[in-house]
Amino acid sequence: MNILVANLGSTSFKYRLFRMDQDGGEVLAHGGYERVTDHAIAIDDAIATLQRDGIIQSTDDIDAVGFKTVLGKDLSGCVIADQSVIDALDGFADVAPAHNPPYANGIRQFAKALPNAKLVALFETAFYQWTSPASAHYAIPKSWRDIGIRRYGFHGASHKFIAERSAELMDRPDVAETTRRLYLDGQQAPDAAPLRVVSCHLGGSSSVTGILNGVAIGTSMGFSPQSGLPQNNRVGDLDSGAIPYAMKKLGISVDEAARQLTKESGLQGLSGVSNDLRDIAAAANDGNQDAHLALDALAHSIRHWIGAFMIELGGIDALVFTAGIGENNTAIRATVCNGLENFGLHLDAEKNTATRATEATISRDNSPAKIFVIPANEELVLAREVFRKLS
Ligand code: AMP
């Protein structure tokens, strides 16, 4: 099955064409466009390029298109991308303004360009469909809950991949199979010994998710991708009282407050140096105290959420690091794991230092709980879920 994974930004379009079968898949082609003003033109050009390069003979050779949609009002899961998906994206366009409109538009364009292809949306919120009401709800008035304000969670594709892969590494094929079939079967009642995993997706955008027997029990991100850990330019968790206070004191509008919390906050705002952890670490090495603070605040927040999920899970069997920072930044991993031996997590300092951008076990051989680095590959995750959905 040939599956095109479409990654749509407000001014960008990237794609990766996979040939998928039961045993996995291979990338047939990939490409992308920046500074896009009309997604329809970019999409048509991508399809024409695939034909011209002989990757496909006709548009019918693309069996399906997968979309990593972010946040739908009243809709989640891995679903056929029909009008209901477009309506759900439009319903929350204000909450995810950089993500929802390009995907709604992209789905419309692909329906025109590839009328015979199946279109499938995998919502980033999908993995959290089975979290408990207690973990999903904020203590807000009913009228606020009625307009859809609750904890949704994001990075679902990445954390679900970690759930599946960590179960394989922990020699728990039963749990891996539960996760593989999650969007087909829904949650299954686990009757085996619990497998308790905490997954840390640390990148430009970061979150920590607790996973019991392959199913998420909660995550650090909430209503919007603004929440949880400090992100590259986004604030992460913030006391709601701070927003009206800052608006009055600084004399700024709600839109300007939202802009500053989205563009000028997070690691950029705290460090005053950069939104990239490599630059921040270099500045900290040079003695920049604000850069130190940004590194410490990130590590503190990661540990805060790991601790929360270890309590919820009743312990931990595996801690996983993934995404750009999680895969490459050995210092953050060491700081996060510091002093967690009483919880069964013994980091092997040498293995940690030696591991970058590759799958590895970085705990000591005799560590009761394992610590893994598992590279993220969100396009492949999407291609797999689309293949499962359609086969
Ligand atoms: P992502 O959003 O997953 O691409 O992650 C971006 C973040 O990962 C940035 O803060 C980078 O500093 C960090 N990162 C990416 N690659 C590396 C690398 N090779 N070494 C250290 N940090 C990296």
Q: Where are the domains of the chain?
A: 2-123, 170-378
pLDDT (average), residues 197-211 = 97
Question: If you measure from the C-alpha of residue 277 to the centroid of ligand 1, how many angstroms do you get, rounded to a whole number?
Answer: 7
Q: Residues 351-389: pLDDT tens digits?
A: 999 999 999 999 999 999 999 999 999 999 999 999 999
**Predicted local distance difference test score (pLDDT) of residue 244:** 98
pLDDT (average), residues 84-110 = 95
Question: If you measure from the C-alpha of residue 203 to the centroid of ligand 1, how many angstroms do you get, rounded to a whole number?
Answer: 6
Going by DSSP bridges, is the β-strand pair 207-212/215-219 parallel, antiparallel, or unpaired? antiparallel
Binning pLDDT at 50, 70 and 90, where does residue 190 land? Answer: confident
pLDDT (average), residues 49-62 = 97
pTM passes above 0.85 = yes
pLDDT (average), residues 105-129 = 97
Instruction: Specify whether the CB–CB gap between 262 and 243 falls below 8 A.
Output: no
The reply to whether ligand 1 has any atom less than 6 angstroms from the CB of 281 is no
Question: If you measure from the C-alpha of residue 320 to the centroid of ligand 1, how many angstroms do you get, rounded to a whole number?
Answer: 16
The reply to whether ligand 1 has any atom less than 6 angstroms from the CB of 20 is no
pLDDT (average), residues 189-197 = 86
pLDDT over 80 (residue 119): yes
Tell me the CA end-to-end span of the chain in Å, nearest whole number: 9
Q: Domain 2-123 carries which CATH code? A: 3.30.420.40
**Predicted local distance difference test score (pLDDT) of residue 182:** 95
**Predicted local distance difference test score (pLDDT) of residue 137:** 97
pLDDT over 80 (residue 319): yes
pLDDT (average), residues 125-149 = 97
Q: Residues 258-275: pLDDT tens digits?
A: 999 999 999 999 999 999
Instruction: Specify whether the CB–CB gap between 164 and 179 falls below 8 A.
Output: yes
**Substitution site in 271, 280, 325 for ligand 1 pocket (most atoms within 8 Å of beta carbon):** 325
Binning pLDDT at 50, 70 and 90, where does residue 196 land? Answer: very high
For the chain, give the mean pLDDT. 96
Instruction: Report which of residues 97 and 114 the model is more confident about.
Output: 114
**Predicted local distance difference test score (pLDDT) of residue 192:** 80
DSSP one-letter code for 12: -
Ranking 1-5, 15-19, 185-189, 261-265 by mean pLDDT, the lowest is 185-189
Residue for token digits 């989640």?
A: 76
Binning pLDDT at 50, 70 and 90, where does residue 312 land? Answer: very high
* Helical axes 173-180 vs 156-169, angle rounded to 10°: 160
The reply to whether ligand 1 has any atom less than 6 angstroms from the CB of 325 is yes
The reply to whether ligand 1 has any atom less than 6 angstroms from the CB of 274 is no
| Strands of the 196-201 sheet, one edge to the other | 215-219, 207-212, 196-201, 318-322, 370-373, 360-361
**Substitution site in 162, 277, 332 for ligand 1 pocket (most atoms within 8 Å of beta carbon):** 277
**Predicted local distance difference test score (pLDDT) of residue 245:** 98
Q: What is the CA 234 to chain-centroid distance, rounded?
A: 15
Beta bridge partners of 75: 72
pLDDT over 80 (residue 310): yes
**Predicted local distance difference test score (pLDDT) of residue 10:** 85
Closest by CA to 226, choosing from 333, 87, 98, is 98
For residue 273, report the phi and psi dihedrals to the nearest 5 degrees. -110, -50
**Predicted local distance difference test score (pLDDT) of residue 341:** 98
Rounded to whole angstroms, the Cα distance separating 125 from 16 reads: 22
Cα dihedral 254/256/258/262 (nearest 10) = 180
Q: Which fold has domain 170-378?
A: Nucleotidyltransferase; domain 5 (3.30.420)
The reply to whether ligand 1 has any atom less than 6 angstroms from the CB of 204 is yes
